[in-house]
Structure 1
Amino acid sequence: MLSEISPTALHAWLEDTTRPAPYLLDVREDWEFAHCHLANSQLMPMHTVPLQMNKLPDDVPLVVICHHGVRSYQVGQYLVQAGFDEVLSLAGGVAAWADQVDPGMPRY
């Protein structure tokens, strides 16, 4: 089952050096990613996921990211159904990340 993670919980996880970092999968379009993204996130636009999911690691948790959390939730559900074990969707997407974690992040 797919779960969501809040921006503040993801930030705490990324700052915790005792915990293995998740794979940050950004499923927005190229122009959105170019405008703003979380550090160390990897771009794989939503429509390309079915053809490229074999490139995703299956040994670390995946955190799926989009603008407001809708696309990431859909992709996360798809990945869970495809057999990935640990998949989380960033609740509220990069918009919530900018509101709760990084007020300097560009918005759109």
Structure 2
Amino acid sequence: MITRVRPSELNAWLQEQPAGAVVLDVREPWELQTASVKADGFELLAIPMNDIPARLAEVPRDKPLAVLCHHGGRSQRVALFPEHQGYEGVANVAGGINAWALERDPSVPRY
């Protein structure tokens, strides 16, 4: 089962992780240009959802992984893939970047 982490809970989740963490943004390039997060206490990696199967080797296996999209639906589906490939510590950022803007960083544009 994939852990759900709200953006407002991300700092607490990060502190619970043994080896830092990666936030994997699976939105499309145009979405990243519209609104992006700043890496603060985590590594940020952007790979569009449809590219994940071919590029999974770019995602570190030795760090916890929080997957981010627009509202949380795509990231929930994507989070299942690395988990089924043996990745541990996979979480979905519930509410996506929309919730990120509301709960964590109001400077992030909503779209």
* TM-score > 0.5 by shorter chain: yes
Matched position secondary structure for 1:58: coil
Identity %: 39
- 1:103 matched residue in structure 2: 106
Following superposition, the deviation at residue 104 of structure 1 comes to 1.7
- Does the Cα contact within 8 Å between 1:11 and 1:101 map onto a contact in 2? no
Following superposition, which runs of at least 4 residues in structure 1 exceed 2 angstroms of deviation?
Answer: 11-14
RMSD: 1.7
Give the TM-score of the pair, scaled to structure 2: 0.87
Give the TM-score of the pair, scaled to structure 1: 0.89
Matched position secondary structure for 1:52: helix
Q: Which letter does structure 2 place at the counterpart of 1:34? A: Q
Following superposition, the deviation at residue 21 of structure 1 comes to 2.8
- Does the Cα contact within 8 Å between 1:13 and 1:21 map onto a contact in 2? no
- Count of residues paired in the alignment: 106
- 1:27 matched residue in structure 2: 26
Unaligned runs of 5+ in 1: none
Matched position secondary structure for 2:4: strand
- 1:7 matched residue in structure 2: 7
Unaligned runs of 5+ in 2: none
1:51-83 C-alpha deviation (Å, 9 max, x unpaired): 000111011100100000000000001111111
Following superposition, the deviation at residue 97 of structure 1 comes to 0.7
